[in-house]
C-alpha cells in the first residue's frame, strides 16, 4: 500500500497517493516510522492538490478556462479546452467565438474565420462583437472577415429612400 502511494506520488497522482497514505494511517497506527512517512507524504499531496486549479468539467467551465489561458498567453491549453468544449457542446456560439480568437492569435486565419462564421450563425450578436474585438486584428483584413461582420444584406439600406 505504501509503495502504491509512493508510485502515485511520483506520477503526480496526488489524489490517489493521498488515499493510499490515509489508508496506511488508519490501518497501521502502531507502525511509527510508516506513520511518520505517510503523514509527510500526505502533507505533500495536500499541498500540491491545493495549488492545482480544479479541472474544468462543463463546456462553460472549459470556455472560461480557455479564456484565462489565452489571457495568460497559453494558446495550446486554450485550444485544448476549446476542443473539449466544442466536442461536448458543438452549438456553443461562445466556444466557437473564443476558438476563433485563439486560432487568430496562433495565425490560423482560415480556421479562425470558420469558427467565427459558426459563432455568428449561432448568435448574430457575435457580428457586432467581432467588429470591435481587438483580439481578431489578425484576421480583420481578410475579405471573409469583412463579409462576416458587415450587416446582413436584409438590414442594409433600411431607413434610406431609393432614388
DSSP code per residue over 74-139: -HHHHHHHHHHHHHH-TT-HHHHHHHHHHHHHHT-HHHHHHHHHHHHHH-THHHHHHHH-GGGGGG
User: pTM of the predicted model, to two decimals?
Assistant: 0.62
Listed by start position, the domains of the chain span 2-51, 59-149
Helix (H, G, I), strand (E, B) or coil at 53: coil
Crossing angle for the helix pair 32-51 and 14-27, to the nearest 10 degrees: 150
Percentage of the chain exceeding pLDDT 70: 90
What is the band of 155 on the pLDDT scale with cuts at 50, 70, 90?
very low
pLDDT in tens, 38-49: 999 999 998 887
User: Domain 59-149, what fold?
Assistant: 1.25.40
- Is the pLDDT reported for residue 138 higher than 90? yes
Q: What is the mean pLDDT of residues 104-129?
A: 95
What is the band of 3 on the pLDDT scale with cuts at 50, 70, 90?
very high
Amino acid at each position: 500500500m505504501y509503495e502504491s502511494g509512493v508510485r502515485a506520488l511520483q506520477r503526480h497522482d496526488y489524489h490517489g497517493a493521498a488515499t493510499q497514505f490515509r489508508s496506511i494511517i488508519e490501518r497501521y497506527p502502531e507502525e511509527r516510522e510508516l506513520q511518520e512517512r505517510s503523514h509527510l507524504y500526505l502533507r505533500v499531496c495536500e499541498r500540491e492538490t491545493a495549488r492545482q486549479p480544479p479541472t474544468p468539467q462543463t463546456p462553460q467551465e472549459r470556455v472560461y478556462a480557455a479564456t484565462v489561458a489565452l489571457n495568460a498567453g497559453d494558446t495550446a491549453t486554450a485550444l485544448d479546452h476549446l476542443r473539449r468544449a466544442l466536442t461536448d457542446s458543438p452549438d456553443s456560439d461562445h466556444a466557437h467565438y473564443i476558438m476563433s480568437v485563439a486560432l487568430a492569435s496562433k495565425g490560423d486565419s482560415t480556421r479562425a474565420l470558420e469558427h467565427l462564421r459558426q459563432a455568428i450563425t449561432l448568435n448574430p450578436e457575435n457580428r457586432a462583437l467581432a467588429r470591435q474585438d481587438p483580439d481578431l486584428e489578425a484576421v480583420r483584413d481578410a475579405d471573409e472577415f469583412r463579409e462576416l461582420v458587415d450587416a446582413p444584406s436584409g438590414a442594409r439600406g433600411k431607413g434610406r429612400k431609393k432614388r
